[in-house]
Structure 1
Amino acid sequence: RKALAYCIDYDTIINRIWPGARQSLGPVDMDTPGHNPNLFQYKQDLTKAEEELKQSPYYEKLDQYPIELHWVSQVPDFEKIALMLQANAAKLGITVEVVKVPWLSVIDLMAQIETTPHAQTLFVAPHYAEAGSMLESRYHSRSCGTWEQGEWLQSPEIDAMIEDAITTIDQKERFQKYYAVQEKIVELSPSIFVLDQPEKSAYRTDYVYWPTADASAKGEQVNQVMGYCYYFRDFKVFPEKAKQPYTPFKP
């Protein structure tokens, strides 16, 4: 797992495939409260990848263990990442079989450990605005069989750490416990943390006030929960400020 993490060409992905993205730092988005900013971050290094491989009892027979990597067909850029990993892994003697799969099939296949692929491309967002949300939905054993936990990680130690953290009332203490869980997961390396996805939307800045976009432009923290940036009750529209030509919407 660590060898494959070293195979990823993070710079090309960030600069060419997903411009505006940031390389992920661990299993929690960097803008989510409770994210640990002090985690180890992988860089592409095929020498280190081979060093990790040599520690495996399967090193001399890698050709006998091909890796099946599924990418979501609705996100074409996932294929580019998958093919890059395939090419780099091949340099180390690792065979990666890249498979295009529609989203509903992803959910179906990941419901059973027998049908879950060795690797699956995914974006995951928190269900509530704290690190504990992503840690629980991604790495607690009770999430196995859902699309969010294709790793099938079943660690009583990590389960206990997550449960202890999310039930801690004091915020400072809770966040420190989140930090410890993230360190444990990065060390275990059940996933490859590639990028924090930028969300881009077009809107009229001349007469539409969008709180989330305004906060983001100022460098302020915004809610990472999916959909919260489109809470239209907080939007404000000033038609009189619209630059010409302007055609009002007529339902």
Structure 2
Amino acid sequence: MKRVLWIFLVLILALGATGCGSSSPSAGSGKQSEKTVIVGLQAEPTTLDASQVADYNTSRAAIDIYDQLVEFKTESTEIEPGLAEKWDMSDDGLEYTFYLRKDVKFHDGTPFNAEAVKFTINRQIDPNHPYHDTGEFAYADLTFGPVKEVQVVDDYTVKIILKEPFSPFLSNMAMHSASIVSPAAVEKYGKDFTRNPVGTGPLKFVSWTPGVEVILEKNPDYFKGSPKIDKVIFKPIVEDQTRVTELEAGNLDLIVNVPPDDLIRIQEAKQFPIVEQPGMHVWFTTFNCQKKPFNDVKVRQAINYAIDKEAIVKNILQDTGEMANSPLPSIVWGHNFNLKNYEYNPEKAQQLLDEAGYPDGFSCSYWIPESGSGMQQPTLMAAAIQADLAKVGIQVEIQKMEWGTYLDKVYVAPEKSELDMHQMSFIGDNGDPDNFLYGLLSGEQIPPVGFNDSYYQNPEVDKLLKEARKTADHQERAQMYEQVQEMIMADAPWVAVDYEKQIVVTSPRLKNFKLQPNGVFRFAQVDLE
């Protein structure tokens, strides 16, 4: 009997030890359970090749695969060393020499060096480069347009020569489009590099299952030290409410674009941390300025007067955004605080439509994404705009599209465009006014070259924007940008609605997550409890 009892006790202890081993470190292996951060994105990423990224929903999934020569400090747009330990600029502002780190390798084991820098830039800007046809580089002209030549001085020194002085150059070199890619990987995968990305960053690519998830894992050999987490999984979840439900069920660690009603409820419950920061983000409706009737400034001004922008910000967004008064967000230097946006005035709108020859209004299409990069509440905002325009006789047909399809249809040459009006948002990449005003509204940035999706052209605006790019004096540049904003608002190529605050909600176990002004997510210093 004693022998049977002894055997019974041994079995109980063994089972108990086995049960503990399923959730605790194994005594034999010494392995810890994996720390995996799961992120709910607004939409499917469009690429993981940083050179091809054109929206910040995508950049959030891609950016930690890579590094840049210079970087933005945490929670700032101030420049600090990255893959370059230091740099020099010539007195005439035409030559930048970067001195590279010697202890860095790409995830595929190949060395990071000056040739990789030259390859990365030339692949984007040189149509004769053997790998230029491996992607579509929407940011190439905005980032590297003034670059004349990239010279390899030695293995760890690279010189970039400009055609003319370019004040935003260093800030541009910290943008996602200046991320350094592995030449060997591009040569191996060609156009499929977009789904087989290789950089030097804190996270390495594992897999991408379209419509389901992108999986990245830590780079244990990262030159700044191995990340504290093991994996990050990005899940595209289009429905805002679904993301909230999944977070509250414990299936997500971080969500974006929380509906305002849910945000208030979450704030009151105090169960999930809310991280927020003023954003370099503007939401707008834009017109096809080269197509009737939107090629008439009176029509564009009329629509601006007809839309109750304050009601959208207060009632739909519930003050998660700040009323816009220009295309340039108020936290970016050079913002013109003296400008007034178009007031809500349907009578003035009707008067302008009469003068333009449309006393009974007209019909048009209005494209919106089902969800996407910083698009806030696209359906509700579109419905409000549709209702306002109907009051002055403008009949709007809302057409909704998937995010990737939407971008493909918006960013086409004017002669190929089918759009009338559409929604868009933009978050600044580098904290410089040039990034917004030149990038979005210069006549030189009309698609497919850039992001001027209103096809707006004003020679005086273009002249000032080009001069500001070459001007070294900060105050002089600010004055030019203030004048440009006045001219753009008078021309009304957009309906500028709001500057969105950056707001994310996280699980309580996510620690040390910080927002960046340019909207990207960084996980190198993040931890999980």
Q: Which residue is 2:309 aligned to? A: 10
1:184 maps to what in 2? 487
What is the CA-CA distance between 1:125 and the residue it aligns to? 1.4
TM-score, normalisation: structure 2: 0.39
> What amino acid sits opposite 1:180 in the alignment?
Q
CA distance in 2 between partners of 1:46 and 1:225 (Å): 36
Residue aligning to 2:477: 174
Residue 391 of structure 2 corresponds to residue 91 of structure 1: yes
* Alpha-carbon distance between aligned partners in 1 of 2:455 and 2:510, rounded to the nearest angstrom: 48
User: 5+ residue gaps in structure 2?
Assistant: 1-299
Kindly report structure 1 stretches of 4+ aligned residues shifted beyond 4 Å: 203-212
CA contact (8 A) 2:306 2:392 kept: no
List per-residue Cα deviations over 1:122-168 (Å, max 9, x = no partner): 11012211212100110112221258322111222221111111211
Cα drift, residue 203 of structure 1: 4.3
Unmatched runs of 5 consecutive residues or more in structure 1: 213-222, 238-247
Give the distance between the partners of 1:128 and 1:31, measured in 2 at CA. 12
Structure ranking higher in strand proportion:
2
Determine helix, strand or coil for the equivalent of 1:193: strand
Aligned to 2:451: 148
Name the counterpart of 1:243. Answer: none
Name the counterpart of 1:125: 427
The aligned counterpart of 1:26 is 326
In structure 2, the CA distance between the partners of 1:71 and 1:206, relative to structure 1 (3 Å rule), is closer
Q: Is the 8 A contact 1:119 1:150 kept in 2?
A: no
Paired with 1:87 and 1:55, the residues of 2 have a C-alpha distance of 22
Match of 1:44 in 2: 344
CA shift for structure 1 position 61: 5.4
* CA positional deviation for 1:170: 0.5
Q: How many residues align?
A: 223
Q: What do the CA deviations read for 1:9-40 (whole angstroms, capped 9, x no partner)?
A: 22321122212211111001111111111112
Quote the Cα distance in structure 2 between the aligned partners of 1:167 and 1:116.
Answer: 35
Q: Any idea what the Cα deviations from partners look like across 1:54-91, whole Å, max 9, x if unmatched?
A: 221x224534xx22110111158212111111112111
Percent identity for Structure 1 against Structure 2:
22
Choose the corresponding residue for 1:101, options 401, 419, 443: 401
Higher relative contact order, structure no. (Cα contacts within 8 Å, ≥ 6 residues apart): 1
**Normalising by structure 1, what TM-score?**
0.79
Q: CA deviation at 1:112?
A: 2.9
Q: Give, in whole Å, the separation in 1 of the partners of 2:495 and 2:501.
A: 18
Question: Looking at CA atoms only, which structure, 1 or 2, has the larger radius of gyration?
Answer: 2
Partner of 1:219: none
Corresponding residue to 2:371 among 74, 78, 81: 74
Aligned to 2:34: none
Q: Distance in 2 between matches of 1:107 and 1:207?
A: 32
Alpha-carbon offset, residue 231 of structure 1: 4.1
Give distance in 2, aligned partners of 1:15 and 1:154: 32
Residue 441 of structure 2 is matched in structure 1 by 139
Q: 1:116 to 1:37 in 2, by over 3 A?
A: farther
Structure (1/2) with the larger helix percentage: 1
SS in 2 for 1:197: strand
User: Greater CA deviation, 163-172 or 201-210?
Assistant: 201-210
Q: 1:102/1:203 Cα in 2 relative to 1: closer, same or farther (>3 Å)?
A: closer
- Mapped to 1, the partners of 2:328 and 2:431 lie a distance apart of 11
Query: Which of these residues, 498, 519, 528, is aligned with residue 195 of structure 1?
Result: 498
